[in-house]
Structure 1
Amino acid sequence: MEKIIHRAASRSFSNHGWLQSYHTFSFAGYYNEERIHFGALRVLNDDMVKGGMGFGTHPHDNMEIVSIPLHGALEHRDNTGRHEVIRTNEVQIMSAGSGIVHSEFNASKTDPVSFLQIWVFPKLRDITPRYQQQAFEPTGRNNKLQVVVSPEHESGALLINQDAWFSLGKFDAGNTVDIVSKMAQQGSYLLVLEGEVEVAGEVLQRRDAIGLTDFDKVTVKALKATEFLLIDVPMN
């Protein structure tokens, strides 16, 4: 098994006043040749946007973009005429494909919104742009993994144009779960949202992350009440 550790404090931080953003991988003005991507996982931004502020209209193409609100709500508009609000316990995916133009704003004029913005390289290029969002019952991840994004038509999961899975877990202290490799040349990237876990001989705390490759199964143990995001992606 190979592993790479990304401690929370090692991430790049940008403070734009209205936006505070932590970058795990090279993004915008942050470049680190050792942190370009983890397999098909290209961007993992941990963002906080002030009330009434947001990202103005801008384009994307040939990228799978997943947004996961952690606190608050995010307002989405795009050039297909879609206008949605994504709230806590919902997940959004946008397959930019051949090209889409959209904006993202804090849905509140007063309260901040915190969310993860994640980009994954697509499996097929130039597909017709596609948008989905789905609410996920938080009890569905109590002491187990709840699949929220999948390349397959799993019950309730959002469809991604890549051999990738996103799972959320919420574990009581002392409970364990096994990460099992789903395919050859898979990488698994685990981000601790809250709490503390032990995995592959490493103790990870809030916003620490670990990337694992060349394994069949590895156990994650919650040392404290813990929430985490697991992203399985192809490495080739």
Structure 2
Amino acid sequence: MATTVLHTADTRGNANHGWLNAYHSFSFGNYYNADRNQFGVLRVLNDDTIAAGMGFGTHPHNNMEIITIPFEGDLAHKDSMGNEATIKTGDVQVMSAGAGIQHSEFNPNADQQTKLFQIWLFPNKQNVTARYQQITLDKTAQKNNFAQILSPNQEDEGVWIHQNAWFFMADFDADFTKNYTISSASNGVYLIVISGSITVGDQNLNEKDAIGISDFTTVAIKANTDAKFLIMDIPMKL
């Protein structure tokens, strides 16, 4: 029997620093919730709004798979591997921190905020050589479909990471229904609504609500309105 956990938008942690307004689905920084340290290998899901011209100075990471998905505006990235890039709305970026990396992230626009998800997954390999990858997504592939944007396989669609995980973006029309089938028997799913309203199984979810499901094979997802959402299909054990 499937096991579910519901995380409604209004139960997330919040840290508003003025230049940064961050909502934390899991314990992060000064926000700690003993019941929300992770879901499987998903350690961090931050919903960040960064003010114009502001950002994160150079800071280190190691042994974490870090995925950034902007939904509004841009993010300028610079790292210790020599990468300098602007991540735009419609892109996805992955950074395998591995043995260690330093990077900075800034909103390069003087007149527009940047909104994004930053997601951290525990890797299945330690101390790998750090790497960076960025692609532009095909938004048309997301229409009434689960469009793969991340996987463990270099040859597959989307970016790849050191973990047995698959991410899918979907953009459903109102009243459209499609069944989602788990990618690996040992995985679970953490789904968050980006906009609109959907029903997952028998659970209604609105904007920025999330649900974690484990011990299942297939679940029906129905759009109650036009809706966009992200599915993270991830191992439940480290």
TM-score w.r.t. length of structure 1: 0.98
Percent sequence identity over matched residues? 45
What is the CA–CA distance in structure 2 between the aligned matches of 1:38 and 1:108, rounded to whole Å?
A: 34
What is the CA–CA distance in structure 1 between the aligned matches of 2:203 and 2:141, rounded to whole Å?
A: 27
What is the CA–CA distance in structure 1 between the aligned matches of 2:132 and 2:154, rounded to whole Å?
A: 15
Report the secondary structure of 1:111's partner residue: coil
Q: Report 1:147-166 matches (<5 A).
A: 147-166=148-167
Amino acid at match of 2:21: Q
CA RMSD of aligned residues (A): 0.8
Task: Provide, for residues 76-96 of structure 1, a one-character-per-residue CA deviation record: whole Å limited to 9, x for no partner.
Answer: 000111100000110000000
Unmatched 5+ residue regions in structure 1? none
Q: Report 1:136-155 matches (<5 A).
A: 136-155=137-156
Q: Report 1:81-230 matches (<5 A).
A: 81-230=82-231
Amino acid at match of 1:115: L
Report the secondary structure of 1:97's partner residue: coil
CA-CA distance at 1:182 after TM superposition? 1.8
What is the CA–CA distance in structure 1 between the aligned matches of 2:234 and 2:32, rounded to whole Å?
A: 22
Task: Provide, for residues 150-203 of structure 1, a one-character-per-residue CA deviation record: whole Å limited to 9, x for no partner.
Answer: 001354310111001111000001111212122222110110000001112110
Report the secondary structure of 1:139's partner residue: helix
What is the CA–CA distance in structure 2 between the aligned matches of 1:107 and 1:146, rounded to whole Å?
A: 29
Report the secondary structure of 2:30's partner residue: coil
Matched-pair contact (CA < 8 Å) for 2:151–2:157 = no
Name which of structure 1's ranges 178-187 and 9-18 shifts more when overlaid on structure 2.
Answer: 178-187
Matched-pair contact (CA < 8 Å) for 1:92–1:132 = yes
Amino acid at match of 2:203: E
What is the CA–CA distance in structure 1 between the aligned matches of 2:77 and 2:93, rounded to whole Å?
A: 10
TM-score w.r.t. length of structure 2: 0.98
Unmatched 5+ residue regions in structure 2? none
Aligned residues: 236
What is the CA–CA distance in structure 2 between the aligned matches of 1:73 and 1:182, rounded to whole Å?
A: 31
